[in-house]
Amino acid sequence: MINETLSLVLALVTGILLGAMFFGGLWWTVQKGISSKRSALWFLGSLLLRLSIALAGFYFVSGGHWDRLLLCLLGFAMARLIVTRLTRAAEKPTYLTQEASHAP
């Protein structure tokens, strides 16, 4: 019982880490790719690398158990929300928030 619970918790945590790597890598790629002369190469290379790591991680974490795979995917989706929130906060200019507070 404890071993099964531990493996499910580890699957969730691994999913969060895989998602942070995947979506954090996507954000990093966009930052680098928009200023690069070879942006298509950046995006294609990043996509292949991120997908390979994520799919291999899902395969090894699941170990043939659907419940581990489901929790890993849940962690992956949670990481998407976290990374999206963190990157939006980092990119939001402060002058827009100050100006919007004076709007009628």
How much is the pLDDT for 87?
Answer: 87
How much is the pLDDT for 58?
Answer: 96
Task: Give the chain as a DSSP string.
Answer: -HHHHHHHHHHHHHHHHHHHHHHHHHHHHHHHHTT-TTHHHHHHHHHHHHHHHHHHHHHHHHTT-HHHHHHHHHHHHHHHHHHHHHHHHHH--HHHHHHHTT--
How much is the pLDDT for 2?
Answer: 78
- Mind listing the pLDDT tens digit of every residue in the chain (104 residues)? 779 899 999 999 999 999 999 999 999 999 999 998 999 999 999 999 999 999 999 999 999 999 999 999 999 999 999 999 998 877 766 555 555 555 55
How much is the pLDDT for 72?
Answer: 96
